[in-house]
Amino acid sequence: MTKILFITLFITGSLFANEMSLAKIVKLSNKGEKIANTLCNAKKLPSAQGTIEQLMEKIKTSGACPPLSKSKLEAVAYYVSNGSMKLSGKHIDVPADAKCPVCGMFVSKYPKWAAFMQINGKKYYFDGVKDMMKYYIFDGDFPYDRKNIFKITVSDYYTLEEIPAKEAFYVLDSDVFGPMGRELIPFKSKKSANAFMEDHNGKAMVKFDEITDKMVMALDGL
């Protein structure tokens, strides 16, 4: 009985820790937005590409902000990476130690960009739709059979809501960068995708089945 109770507490405690981690990231990003808007020159802030640690260094050397404490610098880095954030509906619950199988980056630090695939009971987390589509399109380069995919979901850019990847609308190659640079940015509704596209110079809006290998590789300049 004691062992069962311990296991239950461990599992629920781990889930709570992951939930708190996401809440902390949302809080940090929102704090970073306030700092960036009041103390920094937004035009000089670096693009979102890179790890949080790399972004902290880029912000420090960019001259966009006055000297900031480490905690404030980290908050601005999370804001640069994830932008404005709010939680709405069910989100992709990324384990703290999950790494993107394409690039190896820790996914939990970038909840706004999280994407997910379940294959034969195994779960895979990606730090952006671009890397997820590489895994999906170039399935011959990875150890799985596409017919065994059970679930594919992505995160709505504005709300972080987990949505079916094949129902989402994707804005291609806007001026908003993700952790891995130029991206396919997902939205639950066509209306929000259109609004984002107009505000951020998106090249096109596509559905899941319209995404091609050429589109994906072009985002990396190939």
Is residue 106, in this structure, part of any structural domain at all? no
Cα separation, 90 vs 161, whole angstroms:
5
CA angle (138, 143, 144) in 5-degree steps? 80
**194 and 136 in one domain?**
yes
Query: Does any domain span residue 89?
Result: no
Distance from C-alpha of 184 to C-alpha of 131, rounded to nearest angstrom: 10
- Cβ neighbours of residue 83 closer than 8 Å, sequence gap 6 or more: 29, 33, 48, 112, 176
pTM, entire model: 0.78
Per-residue model confidence (pLDDT) at position 7: 33
On whether both 123 and 41 belong to a single domain, the answer is no
124 in the same domain as 77: no
Cα dihedral value 114, 118, 119, 120, nearest 10 = 150
Whether 87 maps to a domain, the answer reads: no
Comparing CA positions, the residue from 221, 222, 176, 211 lying closest to residue 197 is 176
Q: Within a domain: residue 95?
A: no
Inside any domain, residue 153: yes
Alpha helices in 85-184 (DSSP H): 129-137
The boundaries of the domain holding residue 208 are: 111-218
Write out pLDDT tens, residues 159-210: 899 999 999 999 999 999 999 999 999 999 999 999 999 999 999 999 999 9
Q: 70 in a domain, yes or no?
A: yes
Give the total number of structural domains in the chain.
2
Question: Comparing C-alpha atoms, which of 156, 140, 151, 23 is closest to residue 78?
Answer: 23
Residue-wise pLDDT tens for the chain (222 aa)? 343 333 333 333 333 334 447 888 888 899 999 999 999 998 899 988 889 999 999 999 999 999 999 999 999 999 998 888 777 779 999 999 999 999 999 999 899 999 999 999 899 999 999 999 999 999 778 888 888 999 999 999 988 999 999 999 999 999 999 999 999 999 999 999 999 999 999 999 999 999 999 999 999 998
